[in-house]
Amino acid sequence: MQELWSERQKLVDAALPGELNQSAPLDQTLSEAMEYSLMAGGKRLRPILLMAAADAVGKNGTAFLQSACAIEMIHTYSLIHDDLPAMDNDDYRRGKLTNHKVYGAGMATLAGDALLTLAFEVMTRQEGADPATILRVVREMSESAGPDGMVGGQALDMESENRQIPLDTLRKMHMGKTGALFRAAVRSGAILAGADDRQLESLTCYAEKFGLAFQITDDILDVIGDEAVIGKPVGSDEKNHKSTYVTLTSLEEAKKLAQQTAEEAVAVLSSFGAEADFLRELVKYLVGRKK
């Protein structure tokens, strides 16, 4: 699993500059700011999930590399905006200074805006997919990234600072802020690969459980993680007085919930063969990650 992850991570890293350079920003600083965050490294988890979902349906996921790059652009935009002084006000991301620390809050905001809009242009260039399928993926991505998904979850997150919220509200918030883009990645890969209704339903359930396991693990790492390994400050949730799975339960209960959710994610893939092994191994690896 880790070998395939590394291989496809390199594939995404190699493809992103080409997709980025298809555009010609009017301002050079804007271009540099976009590239700074997009090429700052990272796990490339969402594009890899998109390709892995296509694999699970029986296609070669690398055929959908353009759509994979597009969702990484959406994810990067969200990180740039999340780090802004008006949001989490973080100084480091992926072991480097955050975008606004280098280019200023105004230019960082525009770099995020540019990556988001460019992502949809990149999707429309997806080769090997008919226009109706591309349109379906564009809708999938836009709904997941917008007020019903990621942005809505971020709004809930902001309004939840400095107060304790119920566990069901926390789950709703993270289903939007973190889970929605994982769901879009998996569903888009499946749709591009021609998944039938049963396959799409199973993969959607997997994606939702994957997102929950990921977020719980993220909350755990914010408490016990190593800043040098994670690449960003630990303790930011406490600093911003945010409710997390750790604060609303306990560290041990959060660990148990992450493990249980990962096992449930594997179970929903029972109808798939070996072509879904990457997805099975990935979610199990996820709950033991250090970064």
Reported as a single tens digit per residue, the pLDDT across 128-150 is 999 999 999 999 999 999 999 99
Average confidence (pLDDT) over 251-262: 94
Residues facing residue 97 across a β-bridge: 92
The confidence score (pLDDT) of residue 232 equals: 47
Mean pLDDT (the chain, rounded): 92
Instruction: Determine the Cα–Cα distance for residues 111 and 104; give it in Å rounded to an integer.
Output: 11
| pLDDT at residue 24 tops 90 | no
Look up tokens 């099975």; give the residue: 280
Instruction: Record the tokens describing residue 164, joined without a space.
Output: 């304790």
∠ CA 207-208-211, nearest 5°, is: 85
Q: In this predicted structure, what is the pLDDT of residue 227?
A: 53
Is the pLDDT at 230 greater than 50? The verdict is no
pLDDT band at 249 (very low <50, low <70, confident <90, very high): confident
pLDDT, tens digit, for every residue of 73-128?
Answer: 999 999 999 999 999 899 999 889 999 999 999 999 999 999 999 999 999 999 99
**Percent with pLDDT over 90 in the chain:** 79
Q: List the structure tokens of 12.
A: 């995404």
Lowest mean pLDDT among 7-11, 125-129, 223-227, 263-267: 223-227
Per-residue confidence band for 271, with pLDDT thresholds at 50, 70 and 90: very high
In the chain, the domains with their CATH numbers are 2-286 (1.10.600.10)
Q: Which residues, at least 6 apart from 280, have a Cβ–Cβ distance to it below 8 Å?
A: 266, 269
**Poorest-pLDDT segment among 77-91, 105-119, 177-191, 239-253:** 239-253
Q: Return the higher-pLDDT residue of 19 and 25.
A: 19
Q: Which long-range contacts (CB under 8 A, 24 or more apart) does 125-133 make?
A: 125/22, 125/66, 126/64, 126/66, 126/67, 126/192, 127/63, 127/66, 128/63, 128/64, 129/64, 129/192, 133/191, 133/192
Q: Is the pLDDT of residue 228 over 80?
A: no
pLDDT at residue 243, as a whole number: 82
**What pLDDT shows up at residue 81?**
97
Q: What is the rounded average pLDDT of the residues 259-275?
A: 96
Higher pLDDT residue, 290 or 233? 290
